[in-house]
Structure 1
Amino acid sequence: MFKANRQLAASLGVVTIAGTVGMVALAPTAQAADVDYTSHCVNQIVKDLVIPDGNLKIDLSVAPAKARYDVGEEVTVTWTWKSYPKAPPEIPVVGKVDKDSTLPKGSVTLGGAAGGEVAVEGQRINPETGPGQELVLTNMTGKVKLTQAGDVTLTPGLYSTFTKAFGFDAETKCNPVNTVAPSATLKVGAADKPVLGAPATAVEPGSEVALTGSKFAPGAVTATLDGGAAGIAGSTLAADAAGNLTGKVKLADTVANGTHTLVVTDSAGNAGQAQLLVRKKVDPPKPGDLTQRLDGTITAGALSITQQTGGIRLSEVGVSAQDQTMTGKLNTVTVTDLRGGNAGWTLTGSVTDFATQAGESIPADHFSWKPKATKADAKSKGTPVAGSAGTIGTGATLASVPQGTSNTGGTFAADADIDLKVPAYQGAGDYSATLTLSIS
């Protein structure tokens, strides 16, 4: 028994990798920056096999490389070894790592505006390697769909190597010892909109109004009032090289009393808007009469989602000659709409394949749900609608509030019963998948 373990250790011990944690500057786009850190490896069969820690340097890159990505765009993530792991100083029995015996698999952690992990995998291609020599592994790649706007960071996570020896494909699991810095940052979603500043106090028809702003494309701009040019009699507005807006607009004499929407559009088609209160001067009241005008503002809030903490544990099944169903329940998601308008919203979900670290998987389209939606607050204005029962896959509606003719704001709760179809003779193991919820 001892001899068999030492033979196995000889083949499994060569996959240890180590490195030193180093803080690095994040790349401004999808370009990557090398990350140094320390990795500790443990053989999953021969637990007492001595595998020293050591230096590891990883570079994460994304293709296509762009300054900004659209929400819903799929990209390829590549894990590049800038320094390779070393075989242990002593390899019992066989004394080497056989050529083309080792397969690397790993994960890249998403942070910032996104969450979850990207599975990456290489090829079983490596040179014959002796004790203490570098084990040259292939780079690993994987794909991910960008579902959330904002800055998304990519950070090297845990990885494993699978080495064929003595009839086994044995795993050595390697985890970072310290916090690892992100290697790349992706900017997802549209660029920031221009910001327009207008006087908070009332102005008169026919008057000149000074405006300020930022994040405009440099050059000439166009001003409109309530969607048309008739309310603007003249303009000296322009944006400088830094995108800052200065100048004045002259209002037409015919602009009526009330609140108007002023829009300034730059040469790139981006627009900023502000509310402008116009009030014509009136004659003083007759002696003995007093009037007071009451003005006030209710500011708009945000559309947001929260969820109960914790993962979803599906019911357990055994390997069977028949198709089976695993069941579970979505953690309740709360949607809060404080925008004070009638836009409505849609909450959607997507799920990845149900897979094990050993490579067993059930396709994502085997997941289905039966959505439910209710008002979480009886004073809510909108009417929630549950999505249709069916496959989740890469996109399905969990709940929505349709656009209305009046205020649709409120607080709403959404959940669902989840089923997973398990094919006959599906391999045993601990499976996991990531369910992503997005609101728009």
Structure 2
Amino acid sequence: MRFTPRRRRRWTAALGATALALTAGGALAAPAGAATTASSAVDFATHCVPPPIAGIPPIDGTTTAQITVDNAAPRVGDTVTVTYTVTKPAASNPVDLALPENIMTPSGKVTLGGAQTGSVTVTGEKKNPPVPGKGAFPPFSMTGTFTVTAPGAIALSPGDYNIHTSYIMELDTPCTVSSPPAPVSETVTATALPGANERALQLDNASGAPGARVTVTGTKFTPLAEVTVGGRAGAAETADKMTVTTDSQGGFAARLTVADLATTGIVAYEGAAWDAEKGAGPVAYQVIDDTPAPPGSQRISATVKAGTLSMTQAGDAVQLSAVDFGTGGAATGALRTVTVKDFRGGPAGWSLTGKVTDFSGPGGASVGAGKLSWTPACATKAGSPSTCAAGSAGPVGSTGATLASTPNGTVTGGEFTVDAGLSLDVPAYTAPGSYAGVLTLTLS
């Protein structure tokens, strides 16, 4: 089997398992899952308003942009990371003065349509090459997240965006889609998950100065429940916090004051502490520090970027030992080592599960999926915030079993290696020949 890593919150690998014969046979492998759909760049008319100090009229031009996601096939309740890349902004430097590097901070919205409607708040890094006077603004990217709340095809289109510059003075160049919505750039197809957490958040702004208020809208929380709305910096809470009570439909609208410079996202949750099963977010939010630096000083900042949850495996086929016709017994072997890397930097743990098909043999003969058992083992790399726990030994079957997991916590993440001993209980008079099944591993 071939396994190709992809940036997705949910990973699936098909593991070809075993040859079973009266005498040793060759292992059979199965191909990996289907590839994700590709996004496309789109052009759309844009109306940009230069800062009043520039003294020039609005700019009506064309923006070229592309939307990409880390998971094109999520389940309801999954969090999808969205990247909005503007490859050709409609606006340009409105003044004759050249702009130095790393003074531009973009923010914007991605519009959702189809099975789920609304918008996703996205923000970008304060990063840019030098821009000459009256020169074109360079390309930039912005990221954000949303929680899938409905099954079906969800269309993602570029939305309004703003270019904030911090040089000599704080200036904004807002650009709006002239005829919304813009063309669809990416589509994700969500599947239903009964009982999934469908709570969701939206912000009316993606950034603001310290002390600015942002409207946080929540949906599908428990009706008439007390909800904490607050800021987060990675896995830690910041000083920005308030409580609201949901309405009879489980919705709320809160005006949160964001003053803590460490805040990089907004969450909302029911109960006394963060619980991924009873909360939503984080939704990206950037505090733009506009405090003038003292004379003769320089402000130095750094950003720690969140990564992804991923897995790789040390091979794609397993050969179990042979057993004898008339005797049967255990055909044994070992799962190819799976390496899990959790670099998300949030509070959520992960679970690695597996399920297997029946083992097909010659002439329509088979060995049932319930005959395969495993004995899981899991090791945690030193320094990892989370500790990996191995699943229980026992049958795998077609309905599946847990191979390994880590719990939710205040700070989670790390690197882990997962192994398992495999044993296929072959009935005594199983027809001679090679038998093969497919073990599918899912990381979520």
Q: TM-score, normalised by structure 1?
A: 0.42
Greater Cα radius of gyration, structure 1 or 2: 1
Higher strand share: 2
Q: Larger RCO: Structure 1 or Structure 2 (Cα < 8 Å, ≥ 6 residues apart)?
A: 2
Q: TM-score, normalised by structure 2?
A: 0.42
